Amino acid sequence: MFSAVFSDELGEDYNGALSVVASRRLLREQAALHREGLELQGVFHHFDEANPHKAAAVVLGPDETPYARCPFLFEFTFPNTYPMKPPHAKLLTRDGRVRFNPNLYVNGKVCLSILGTWAGPSWTSLSTFRTVLISIQSLLCSNPLQNEPGHEHETSSDCDLYAAMVRYESVAIAALQLGKTLPPCFEPLRALLGGIFLCNYSVYCEMLAGFVTCEGRLDRCPLYGFVTKYAPRLVRQQLDSLQATLLTQPEAVQMADELQHQALALCMPEASSEELPTGSGSEASQPLRPTHVAHGLWRVGPGARRFLRRCCFLSLVTAGVSAAVGVAISFAGSSFHALE
């Protein structure tokens, strides 16, 4: 009895000691990130004041990728065993349908070896939250299908189509998520998200402009099967509406000014971008830049293609057999008449 109680108390003391170590390490990492953050790379973070073992991060897609300037929201939970064990990461920018990246699952799972969710270089006690944030942003690359195992050197039309679908959905979902209810952990970052949107509104409109010819059409993702129904006219209206709302919010406008004053690369106008009129909602005034290869058609997946090939093969075989039987019958008939 005494040994059991002693063991429980020892376990509580040990867990308490681990929690203290984790809290101290997290405080040091917070201080380091405040001194030299990742804002210049388009990565922002916030630690929960009530629970330092919880954090939120906004990761902007890099330029020249299908995710360009769109904010992706991640929630992090640090265990009491941190830094011996990695944090748990969850993607909160999702709609239950779109697979934004081979490493970002529809249910929010973030697949990275450093997080212990995939094979490869694993977490060590020298790894940091900063390391995790940089690793996550590196997933948002120009050819995301190459992140899928077995497709590392893929350059087919499937790669182009997937990138195009991700580009459209990044605007339709990620850029517009501020217009919906934010997860509670991101409320402290609402003004920041508003500023990011105002800084990049014209970029979102330009990304969307390339899809005007796909209005009302469908594409099926070649590998993951989700379907994109293009509605660029509606999405443009939603962009305009959100911009108009944010322009009435002093905090968002002030944050946009501050982001541009700091000359953050992913919050500054692109040198090659034409300026778009704001609030017009007219596709005629938008530059048509074919920055994607969206088919705007129902696409047939690999399994269906194999089935169709088999059907074609069987049809050819059946046609060949039928022709052979016809020739045989004709030959037999000729022989019979010759005998008569």
Angle at 255 between CA 253 and CA 261, to 5 degrees: 105
Q: How far is CA 295 from CA 163, 165, 202, 236, 292, in A?
A: 12, 10, 24, 20, 9
Per the CB < 8 A criterion, the answer to whether 112 and 103 are in contact is yes
Per the CB < 8 A criterion, the answer to whether 219 and 297 are in contact is yes
Distance CA 9, CA 19 (A): 15
Distance CA 312, CA 21 (A): 66
- Helix/strand/coil for 6: helix
54 is written with which tokens?
């919880």
Per the CB < 8 A criterion, the answer to whether 163 and 219 are in contact is no
Distance CA 118, CA 170 (A): 24
* Contacts by residues 276-281 (CB-CB < 8 Å, ≥ 24 positions apart): 276/202, 276/205, 276/206, 278/201, 278/202, 278/240, 278/243, 279/240, 279/243, 279/244, 280/240, 281/236, 281/237, 281/240
> In a 10 Å sphere around its CB, with 0-12 CB exposed, 13-18 middle and 19+ buried, how is residue 28 labelled?
exposed
Distance CA 43, CA 38 (A): 5
Residue 46 CA, chain-centre distance (Å), reads 21
Q: Which residues are the active-site residues?
A: 111
Q: Residue 221 phi/psi, 5° resolution?
A: -60, 125
Greatest Cα-to-Cα distance within the chain, rounded to the nearest angstrom: 113
What residues form DSSP beta bridges with 6? none
